[in-house]
Amino acid sequence: MPQASFDALFSEVPVAQTRALQRFWHDHSYQERVIGKARWRYLRVGRSRRTVLLLPHALAPADMWFHLATSLAPHYRCLIPDGYALQQTYDADLICEALIRIIEAEGAYSVAVVAHSGGGSVAQFLLQRYPHRVQHLALCHSVALDRAAPMPIRTWRWALGWAPWRFLQQHLPGALDPAVTVDGRWSAFTRAYVRLITQDLLRETVQGFCSGEQMMRLRFENRPAIETGWPGRVLALASSDDPLSADSLGLFGERYPRCQRVSWGDGGHWGPLQYPEHLAQQIVGFLTEDTL
């Protein structure tokens, strides 16, 4: 099956939204660092000494956060790695070590963390393992890790081993988000973007993502003593129609004493793409309360 061109995918997207993404591509180039056996790629946006680590969906590149990074850039420096599955690294400890190496290479010690979906799985491990490195944490449409936490594309795991990849790849965007709002202002952009980032994925990458998420659920140990002594704040956001993260808001409230929970009416699993202005308003307000 031939790959669809960017122009074809974004033909129904408002021109201003398409150009905003293209302008972000033009203005920012990747930094690369070899960490262990992996070559990690990340973007640096903004020049402030106050640093925010933006973790995208595990299968999404750094530019998933282009709107939020642009909003934060006047007052913060954003470090944005590609999703961990695109870095071919699936072990939570190795991912956290790589993130620490990137933070230190950029001259920072601790950062505020904003994470979406699978990026939120990593963020929960980062806080658990290195609480002194995390100033505050915003979890967007992320699952509260435990053994019973729902898995992304969970019905696909059996099919990934035998079904034709081209067939699966064609249906992957819908599997990642079955609840994209039909008439939202950024809905056409969201559908086009998710199809753009999934059409080049390899079967092995998606398999690694599923295995990585399962292992994080099995290995995560909730340690209330650490969170209780940790001075930071947590913001947890989820759409009520997101089958993955909607039920996690209550668990986050129990685990993190200083947790603000925000429920969106719709937007599915890709709320940050569906409502980027609203998300930016929430994140800027959350970070503005920072007194560190």
CA angle 289, 282, 291 (to 5 degrees): 10
Task: Write out the two tokens for 165.
Answer: 């990849």
Higher pLDDT, 228 or 250: 250
The pLDDT assigned to 225 comes to: 47
Region 38-44: what's the mean pLDDT?
A: 94
Q: For residue range 50-90, list pLDDT tens digits in order.
A: 999 999 999 999 999 999 999 999 999 999 999 999 999 99
Q: Has residue 290 got a pLDDT over 80?
A: no
CA distance 272 to 56: 10
CA distances from 181 to 67, 92, 217, 272 (A): 19, 32, 29, 12
Instruction: Tell me the whole-structure pTM to 2 decimals.
Output: 0.94
Which domains, ranges and CATH numbers included, belong to the chain?
Answer: 6-288 (3.40.50.1820)
- Of 70-79, 249-258, 270-279, the range with the highest mean pLDDT is 70-79
Question: Could you give the percent of the chain with pLDDT greater than 70?
Answer: 95
Region 219-239: what's the mean pLDDT?
A: 81
Please answer whether residues 285 and 81 qualify as being in contact, where contact means their C-beta atoms are separated by less than 8 angstroms. Answer: no
Q: Has residue 182 got a pLDDT over 70?
A: no
Contacts of residue 61, defined as CB under 8 A and 6 or more positions apart, other chains included, come to 82, 83, 86, 197
The pLDDT assigned to 291 comes to: 45
Confidence category of residue 228, pLDDT binned at 50, 70, 90: low
- Of 15-19, 180-184, 225-229, the range with the highest mean pLDDT is 15-19
The mean pLDDT value of the chain amounts to 90
Give the amino acid at 27: D
Of residues 191, 205, 188, the one with CA closest to residue 58? 205
Q: For residue range 108-141, list pLDDT tens digits in order.
A: 999 999 999 999 999 999 999 999 999 999 999 9
The pLDDT assigned to 246 comes to: 85
Confidence category of residue 226, pLDDT binned at 50, 70, 90: low
The pLDDT assigned to 194 comes to: 93
Region 35-63: what's the mean pLDDT?
A: 94
Q: Has residue 292 got a pLDDT over 50?
A: no
